[in-house]
Amino acid sequence: MDLFSPFLLCLRWSHGGLWNPRRADSSGVPFSFRGNTEALEPGEIICSLEKDRLRMELKNVSGREFQELCDLCLWVKLDSSEHCRELEDMLRQMDWRNEFAALTRTRYVERVMGPLPQLHADTHFRFLPLSPEVHLGDCVSNLSVERQKELWMVFFQDGISPVEFTYMADILAEGTPFPMFSWELSLRLALHEAGIRVEYPNHGGFQVWDGAGKRRLFNYENGTAAERLFLKLLFPAPAGQA
C-alpha cells in the first residue's frame, strides 16, 4: 500500500454508490487531492468517474503543468454530515502498512459497500481488501489498538466472541508471530473502561470481577476464542479455569 491507498478506496466507494457524479456539486467533482507542487505552489488533482472511467484534471494558481504533488490532502464533498462521519471513521482507521480497511458495520456502510467484496460476512468489522493478496488472519492481527479495544468491549459487555478472535486463536495455536503488545494494550484499556478488575488472592490463583461486583469465570480449554486469548495475554503460561 502506498500514499494513494485513500485514492483507491475512494474509487471503490465510487463504484459502490457512495459518490454518484450525477449527484455531485455543479462542478461535477466527487473528490480531489490537494497539496503542493514541485514549484511550491498549491495544486489540485480533481477526480471524477464518467461511465466507469476515471477522469483527472490538474489545477493550480499559475496554470502551469506540474508533475508532482506532495503533502497530500484528500478533499471530498458529501451530501450530509452522516456521510462525512462514515468516511472520516474509515480513513482514520487506514494504515499505509496494511492492505485492508476495517469498517464499522453501520447500516449506511453495509448499503453503500454491498457490491464490493469483503473477507468474511460474519466478522464484527467489515474488512475491505485493498489488494488481492490480503488474508483475513493478517487483517485481524494488524488491527489498530482502537479497533482491538472495540472487540474486547463486545466480549466484556455483550458476552460475544467476535469471529476476529477465532482467527487470533488460530494464530496463537500455530505459533505465528503477531503484535502481542498492541493486543495486550487494547485489553488493558478495555478492562479499565469496562470496570473489570483482575485480583490475585493470597491463597493463589486469580479472580476476575466486573463493574457490578459479579465474578466472571473463564475457561481456557473449553471457552470461546475470546476467552482463550484473554487468558493467554494475562498468563502466557497455560491457563486453567478462573
Instruction: Round to whole Å and give the CA distance between 58 and 178.
Output: 42
- pLDDT of res. 54: 75
Q: 46 — phi, psi (to 5°)? A: -90, 125
Whole-model pTM over 0.75: no
Question: Does residue 149 sit in the same domain as residue 230?
Answer: yes
User: For residue 11, is it within any domain?
Assistant: no
Give the residue among 130, 137, 86, 88 at the shortest CA–CA distance from 108.
86
Max mean pLDDT range (7-11, 188-192, 234-238): 188-192
Using one digit for the tens of pLDDT, what is the confidence trace for 85-121?
877 777 776 777 778 888 888 887 887 777 778 889 9
Question: Does residue 66 sit in the same domain as residue 85?
Answer: no
Sheet holding 31-37, edge to edge: 53-60, 42-50, 31-37, 69-76
- pLDDT of res. 94: 72
| CA of residue 153 relative to chain centroid, distance | 16
User: For residue 110, is it within any domain?
Assistant: yes
User: For residue 1, is it within any domain?
Assistant: no
**Residue 191 — very low, low, confident or very high, per pLDDT cuts 50/70/90?**
very high
> Exposure string (b/e) for 165-201, b if CB count within 10 Å is 16 or more?
bbbbbebbeeeeebeeebbeebbebbbeeeebeeeee
CB 207 within 8 A of CB 201: yes
Instruction: Round to whole Å and give the CA distance between 102 and 90.
Output: 7
Question: Does residue 67 sit in the same domain as residue 121?
Answer: no
Domain boundary among 77, 93, 111: 77
Max mean pLDDT range (4-18, 19-33, 39-53, 85-99): 39-53
Is pLDDT larger for residue 50 or for residue 27?
Answer: 50
Instruction: Round to whole Å and give the CA distance between 109 and 231.
Output: 33
User: For residue 106, is it within any domain?
Assistant: yes
Give me the domain span that covers residue 58.
20-77
Question: Does residue 159 sit in the same domain as residue 121?
Answer: no
- pLDDT of res. 197: 93
Residue 10 has pLDDT above 70, yes or no: no
Percent of the chain with pLDDT over 70: 84
**Residue 52 — very low, low, confident or very high, per pLDDT cuts 50/70/90?**
low
Q: How many domains does the chain have?
A: 3
Question: Does residue 164 sit in the same domain as residue 216?
Answer: yes
User: For residue 56, is it within any domain?
Assistant: yes
**Residue 237 — very low, low, confident or very high, per pLDDT cuts 50/70/90?**
low
CB 127 within 8 A of CB 101: yes
Question: Does residue 152 sit in the same domain as residue 228?
Answer: yes
What average pLDDT does this structure show over 23-31? 44
Question: Does residue 84 sit in the same domain as residue 96?
Answer: yes
Question: Does residue 45 sit in the same domain as residue 86?
Answer: no
What average pLDDT does this structure show over 23-29? 36
Question: Does residue 194 sit in the same domain as residue 118?
Answer: no
Question: Does residue 111 sit in the same domain as residue 62?
Answer: no
User: For residue 14, is it within any domain?
Assistant: no
